[in-house]
Structures are given as structure tokens and as C-alpha cells.
């Protein structure tokens, strides 16, 4: 297993498959990849990377984007990498889940995170730029049949959807999904911008309310995030809070290494000086040992963003 200089094990790869997306969410951070190079890893290259990483104890992979399901070879990618991992998941806007949930599960996908920032069509369109709430809700319904768990990612934003938190808790219980409430994330230099001040909604007070209502509280290894089990009219809702801003505990317990869609290791969502190019070496005929050294280099560059 690989450890960084701060004693944090690296057990997860978060792989961006593409910068392309069929939605236009106005706050999207594109996994910290600011520029679309147009270069994407092939299924064979992704498989080789995951195979090498798995030998070093990295056995959990999350596929992201952009929107990963816009890649026509998404099923091939899932099939290729599943043999090397114990937990294969995906983040998606849910627009193609109705037709892809079952094939993805058959290909080897274990679970899925679906972005769902509002249950109100007009708010949903304002956030995502598309009028597809019904399509996404149908996709969630289909995903629940074939993938487990299905998590709903709700980025809570002031003046847009902060009033829907408890409706979303009820909805998650009703649909048998897990709700993740997520703070809007931004690097230090952006926290003073008009945009961030306008939309950032702190979740610490919400977490205190969840703690009061919960019949059970558990703590995840990843980021030491808490899971709250909340009674509702539809049964118990499982709610997680992703409170990353100015959160030293969150960063101190990060076990993730990111991979950009154009073949770079990236140590942190919020950093821009932390890229290690491995795709060039891969395409120039590098052996596995050379890729391992590049991976180790990236791991040693990791450091908590909030300290």
C-alpha cells in the first residue's frame, strides 16, 4: 500500500473519463481540470493504469467526468477495469441511467452517485441548464433496481436549493437511495469572490440538526464523514454530509488520488500545481515500473489542502 508524507494511505483512484458533458451546471468544477485538452485515455490505457495501481493496494475506483456516460465506450471501460478492483463506482448526472443502469451493472459497475440538486423543475433547470429532471428521476428509479447503493449528490447552494434539504431527505427514504449533502467547493483564492459569497451555504448548522434527529450516527473512513440515519414518513433516510471547506479533518483523512481525462495524476481537487503526466510515458512505450514511479511521485506530492 502507498502512503504519502503525511501518513495517509492511498486506496482510491478517481478517474475522469472525459471533459465533455451534456449538462451545463453553472458551478461545475470539472474535477479540478480547468482546460479541455481534447485528449482522452483509451479503454486499454485506463485498464493498464488500474491494473498497475491495483498491485499497489489501490482497489477502489470511481469514474467521473465531465459526464462519463457520454463516452460511447463506457461499458467497455467498466468491463475492462472491474477485474482489478473490489469497488467500482461512477458519478453521473443520470441523464442516461434509464437505458444504461442495467448494462452498467452487468458490465461490473457496483454503485453510482447521481447529481440531483433539486426536485423542482424550474430550479433544476436553472442549476443544470437543461430541462431533464423527469428523465433523471426515471434513471434513478432504474438504477435502484440494478446498482447498490445509489447515492444522490446534492450540492447545497444559497438562494437556490437550501430550502429543499428536508424534502430531499424524504425523497431519499422514499426511493431507497442515500443522500449526500455537499458544500460548494472552491480554492482559497475564490472564497472571497462575489460568486462564492452568493452561493456558498455552510452545512455545519445542518449537520447539527441531523445529529438531533438521527436515530443512529456512523462515521466513514473516507474523510471521517458522518452518516446520519433520519426517521421519515417513508422509513429511515441515510444522509451523509460532505463538508470540505476549511475542514482540516476532511483533508487529513483523504485516501484518494485523482486522474485527469488527459492522463495526469492529480493530488487534490483544489490545487493547480500538482499534475504528473503519465500518459505521455505510457504512449512512448514505458514499462509498468516506470508508471509505478510516476504514481509514487504523485503520491509523495500529496498534502492536505486545509491544514
**Is the confidence at residue 269, as pLDDT, over 70?**
yes
Q: Is the pLDDT of residue 236 over 90?
A: yes
Confidence of residue 30 (pLDDT cuts 50, 70, 90): confident
> What number is the average pLDDT over the span 99-124?
98
Whole-number pLDDT of residue 39 = 86
pLDDT at 34 over 70: no
pLDDT digits (tens, 9 = 90+) for 168-183: 999 999 999 999 999 9
Question: Taking residues 196-201, what's their average pLDDT?
Answer: 95
Residue 223: what pLDDT? 76
CB 176 within 8 A of CB 132: no
Give the pLDDT band (50/70/90) at residue 218.
very high
pTM for the full model?
0.95
The pLDDT value given to residue 31: 78
Mean pLDDT, rounded, for 115-119? 98
Identify the pLDDT of residue 36: 64
**For range 87-91, the mean pLDDT:** 98
Amino acid at each position: 500500500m502507498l502512503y504519502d508524507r503525511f501518513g495517509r494511505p492511498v486506496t482510491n483512484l478517481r478517474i475522469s473519463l472525459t471533459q465533455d458533458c451534456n449538462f451545463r451546471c453553472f458551478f461545475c468544477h470539472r474535477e479540478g481540470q480547468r482546460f479541455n485538452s481534447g485528449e482522452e485515455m483509451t479503454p486499454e490505457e485506463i485498464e493498464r493504469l488500474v491494473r498497475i495501481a491495483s498491485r499497489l493496494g489501490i482497489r477502489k475506483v470511481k469514474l467521473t467526468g465531465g459526464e462519463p456516460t457520454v463516452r460511447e465506450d463506457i461499458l467497455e471501460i467498466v468491463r475492462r477495469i472491474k477485474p482489478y478492483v473490489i469497488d467500482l463506482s461512477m458519478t453521473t448526472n443520470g441523464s442516461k441511467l434509464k437505458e444504461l443502469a442495467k448494462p452498467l451493472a452487468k458490465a461490473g459497475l457496483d454503485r453510482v452517485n447521481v447529481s440531483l440538486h433539486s426536485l423542482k423543475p424550474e430550479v433544476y433547470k436553472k442549476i443544470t441548464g437543461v430541462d431533464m429532471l423527469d428523465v433523471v428521476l426515471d434513471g434513478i428509479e432504474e438504477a435502484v433496481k440494478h446498482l447498490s447503493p445509489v447515492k444522490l449528490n446534492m450540492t447545497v447552494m444559497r438562494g437556490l436549493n437550501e430550502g429543499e434539504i428536508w424534502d430531499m431527505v424524504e425523497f431519499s427514504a422514499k426511493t431507497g437511495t442515500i443522500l449526500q449533502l455537499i458544500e460548494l467547493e472552491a480554492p482559497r483564492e475564490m472564497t472571497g469572490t462575489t460568486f462564492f459569497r452568493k452561493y456558498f451555504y455552510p452545512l455545519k448548522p445542518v449537520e447539527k440538526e441531523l445529529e438531533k434527529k438521527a436515530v443512529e450516527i456512523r462515521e466513514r473512513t473516507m474523510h471521517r464523514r458522518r452518516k446520519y440515519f433520519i426517521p421519515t414518513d417513508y422509513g429511515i433516510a441515510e444522509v451523509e454530509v460532505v463538508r470540505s471547506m476549511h475542514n482540516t479533518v476532511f483533508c487529513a483523512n483523504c485516501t484518494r488520488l485523482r486522474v485527469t481525462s488527459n492522463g495526469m495524476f492529480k493530488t487534490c481537487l483544489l490545487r493547480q500545481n500538482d499534475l504528473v503526466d503519465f500518459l505521455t510515458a505510457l504512449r512512448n512505450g514505458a514499462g509498468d515500473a516506470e508508471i509505478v514511479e510516476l504514481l509514487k511521485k504523485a503520491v509523495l506530492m500529496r498534502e492536505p489542502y486545509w491544514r
